Amino acid sequence: MVSRRDRHNRGLRGPLVRANPFTRFAAPLPGRLNRFDFFMDAVQESLKRIETVNPDAVIGLDIGIEDVPEESRIWDSLLSHGAMPLAAAIDALPRQYVRVVLYRRPIERRAADRADLRELVHHTLVEQVAVLTGCSPLELDPDFERGW
């Protein structure tokens, strides 16, 4: 029997498509987004949802994404009790906008599947923007209570 997989049974032995002579890279195959790209897509979709309801809430807002929160004195008490923050809201400094930092890995860890991840990202972002703007979460998203 002829095997069409490699010796470790992991898939094709070579590229499916020949390299493009101009870029020297093979064309990417369409498929499922990787975890980081899916998370970025969920954040952008959530921002669009907030912006359609309350466009003033996202003016002057920076969104940052980190894998995990950096270890510091602030998180030591939380981590000792087993709690991991999902996001942080940071007030404006003299030369910076207000910022929301989402921690990708803790959020992904709490979500059961991709649909759940999309809702959790939206719920977390609405909560953080509400804290920074002083609006209620229902002003940013009328369906907030039905979510997470």
Residue 7 Cα to chain centre, angstroms: 36
pTM (predicted TM-score): 0.73
Q: What is the pLDDT of residue 77?
A: 57
90 bridge partner residues: 99
Identify the burial level of 13 via C-beta atoms within 10 angstroms of its C-beta, where 0-12 means exposed, 13-18 middle and 19 or more buried.
exposed
Domain 35-146 CATH (choose: 3.30.1280.10, 1.20.58.110, 3.40.50.10320, 3.30.2010.20): 3.30.2010.20
Tens-place pLDDT, residues 27-63: 666 777 789 999 999 999 999 999 999 999 888 889 9
The confidence band for 7, taking pLDDT boundaries of 50, 70 and 90, is low
Q: What is the pLDDT of residue 74?
A: 55
Q: Of the given ranges (64-73, 95-104, 137-146), which has the lowest mean pLDDT?
A: 64-73
- The first and second tokens of residue 5, run together, are 């997989």
The residue among 30, 43, 32 whose CA lies nearest residue 108 is 43
Give, in degrees to the nearest 5, the angle at Cα 28 between 24 and 32: 160
Q: What is the pLDDT of residue 98?
A: 85
